[in-house]
Structure 1
Amino acid sequence: MPHSQYTTRSQPARCPVDHKAVERAARALPGPLRRGLYLGIGSLSVGAGIVGIVVPLWPTTCFLLLAAWCFARSSPRAERWLHENRLFGRYLAAYRERGVISTRVRRGATIFLWSAIIVSAVFAAGHLWLVALLLLVAAAVTAHLYSLPGEG
C-alpha cells in the first residue's frame, strides 16, 4: 500500500476497498434487489458495530461506516436513523467528517478494554503466554486509540 494511504494526523486512512468497482458491480443488479442487498448488508453491519461496542478488540467504526455507505444507497430512512442515533450518531459523524474520536469515547473505550483484558487475564492466569498476549494486544489497541486525532 502506498505511503499516502496511511493515516496521518490531518487525514483519516483511506479504505482499501475499491468502492467504484463495487458500485459498478451493484448497478448490474435490478433496483429492488440492489436496494435489498445494500439494506441487508447495512443492517448486518450495524449489528456487528453494536457488538463492537461491548466486545473488546471487535471493530465498531468500520462497520458503522459500511452501514452508512449501504444505507445511503438503499434507504434514506435507515441512513437518517443511523446518523441521528443517540448511541453512535455523533461519534460516527465526527469520525466520518473529521477523522477524529472524542476524548470521552476514547477514555470509555480504553477503560472498558483494560477492564475486560484484566478480567480475562485473571481467568487465564495459569497460562502466562496468554496473559502476555492479552496485555500486548490491549497495549497495541490503546496506542492505536491514542494515535487517532482527538476532539474535546
Structure 2
Amino acid sequence: MSEPKGSRRWRPFYIALGYVCMGLAMAGTVLPVLPTTPFLLVALWAYFRSHPERAQKLLDHPRWGPMLRDWHEQRAIPTRAKIAAVTVMALSWIVVFFTSKGTWLPVIVGIILCCTALFIATRPAPKRG
C-alpha cells in the first residue's frame, strides 16, 4: 500500500484532527447549534492524508457517505441541502440582527454569511449516473 498524502511527521496530527472532527460531527447530530457536515468534510480530508481506510469507511457510511462522495468526487451539494443551509444562515443572521446592540456585528456577520451562501449556492447539484 502506498504512503497516504502528507508526510509521516504530520500523520499523527491528521489522525487526531480526523478523530476530533468526527467527535464534533457526532455531537452536531444531536446539538442544533453545532453543524455536522463541515466537521465530516474536515475529518474526511484529514483521514485521506493519514488513514485512507478510515476515509473509505466514511465514504461508505449509509447516511453520510452519499453526501461526502458527492463533495469528494464532484464538489457538488444537493439542492435540498443548499436550501436548508442558506435558510438556516438567513435565520441566524436575523437572530444576530435583533439581538446585537451595535451595527458592526450584524454587518460583519451578514457579509460572512452572504459570501458563504453564495459559495454554497454556486456549487453544482450532484450528477447521478
Structure 2: gaps (5+ residues): none
Kindly indicate whether residue 79 of structure 2 is the aligned counterpart of residue 106 of structure 1: no
Deviation at 1:115, TM superposition (A): 1.5
Deviation at 1:96, TM superposition (A): 0.7
User: Secondary structure at the residue paired with 1:127?
Assistant: coil
- The AA in structure 2 aligned to 1:140 is C
- Is contact 1:64–1:92 with CA below 8 Å preserved after alignment? no
Distance in 1, matches of 2:17 and 2:72, equals 19
User: Relative to structure 1, is the Cα distance of residues 50 and 115 closer, same or farther in structure 2, using a 3 angstrom cutoff?
Assistant: farther
Deviation at 1:131, TM superposition (A): 1.3
TM-score, normalising length: structure 1: 0.60
Q: How many percent of aligned residue pairs carry the same amino acid? A: 20
User: Secondary structure at the residue paired with 1:148?
Assistant: coil
Kindly indicate whether residue 123 of structure 2 is the aligned counterpart of residue 148 of structure 1: yes
User: Secondary structure at the residue paired with 2:119?
Assistant: helix
Counterpart in the other structure of 1:64: 43
Runs of 4+ in structure 1 deviating by more than 3 angstroms, as ranges, are 36-39, 47-56, 58-62, 78-81
Deviation at 1:49, TM superposition (A): 5.1
Distance in 2, matches of 1:108 and 1:68, equals 27
Which residue, out of 21, 31, 44, partners 1:45? 21
Paired residues, number? 119
Counterparts of 1:90-101 in structure 2, within 5 Å, are 90-101=66-77
Distance in 1, matches of 2:27 and 2:93, equals 17
Counterpart in the other structure of 1:15: none
Distance in 1, matches of 2:38 and 2:95, equals 20
TM-score, normalising length: structure 2: 0.69
- Is contact 1:51–1:60 with CA below 8 Å preserved after alignment? no
Counterparts of 1:5-44 in structure 2, within 5 Å, are 22=6, 25-26=7-8, 38-44=14-20
Higher Cα radius of gyration: 1
Structure 1: gaps (5+ residues): 1-18
- The AA in structure 2 aligned to 1:142 is A
Deviation at 1:46, TM superposition (A): 2.4
- Is contact 1:99–1:149 with CA below 8 Å preserved after alignment? yes
